[in-house]
Amino acid sequence: MIWLCFAVITVVSFVCAAVCGNLELMTTAVVDGCMKSVKIALELSGGAVFWCGVMRVLLDGGVLRFLSRVLTPVLSLAFPRAWRSGEGRDEITAAICANMLGIGNAATPYALSAMKKMDGDGNEGDMGTFAVLGTCSASIIPTTLITLRRAAGSVEPYSIVVPIWLCSLSCALIGVVLSRIFGRTKA
């Protein structure tokens, strides 16, 4: 699937660049993209090494088990099979908590290990739900947005928090419900 994604994006970009006369910019974009990917990969690896180590300690120390038990009433509805088998349950909890706390660089490695655990279990339905939920991941406090708003001279930089909660909660609900429906008919 990823090759198709790549092909579509490339063709669309090429056509648009030709129309807008941006073909030269695309050359630099390729070079820049390669360099940027190294930067992102290094940042991700640094975060992954540290935060996966932390997660493992919290996992073996029982902290994540406790957290996922607390969140069971909500999350077991979204990920029934992971909660039944226990495969990936604690990793899902860690990823969602990290996302909500705004620790984005920890959330990605946690999400990857959650996907791996569910993959080992052949749990495609919950993997789909988890990926969809990952695309509407939201932090409780959108710090970056608030900082940018304040820098731009907003009178009430915090006024966006409640609507963001409403919007992301509805998105998460719709995403989970839809992927449960489609995931079930496929399985």
Stretch that binds another protein, among 11-19, 68-76, 77-85 (CB under 8 A): 11-19
Q: Which sign does the torsion angle of CA 104, 106, 112, 115 carry?
A: negative
d(CA 82, CA 169): 22
70 binds another protein (CB under 8 A): no
Nearer CB in complex with another protein: 72/144: 144
DSSP conformational letter for 155: S
- Residue 52 touches another protein, criterion: CB under 8 A: yes
80 near another protein (CB under 8 A): no
> Where on the phi/psi map is residue 156: left (φ > 0), alpha (ψ -120 to 50), or beta?
beta
Provide the minimum distance between the beta carbon of 69 and another protein in the complex, in angstroms, as a whole number. Answer: 16
Looking at residues 114 to 143 of the shown chain, list those that interact with another protein (rule: CB under 8 A). Answer: 115-116, 118-119, 122, 124-125, 127-128, 130-132, 134-143
- Residues 113 and 95: their CA atoms lie apart, in Å, by 9
Identify residues 148-177 at the interface with another protein (CB under 8 A). 148-149, 152-164, 166-168, 170-171, 174-175
Q: Of all helices (H) and strands (E), which one includes residue 45? A: helix 23-60
Taking the complex as a whole, the smallest distance from the CB of residue 180 to another protein amounts, in Å, to 10
The residue type found at 105 is N
Residue 84 near residue 75, CB atoms below 8 Å:
no
153 φ, ψ to 5°?
A: 90, 30
Measured from the CB of residue 187, what is the shortest distance to another protein in angstroms? 9
The interface region with another protein, picked from 3-11, 68-76, 77-85 by CB under 8 A, is: 3-11
Q: Which is nearer to another protein, 9 or 77 (CB)?
A: 9
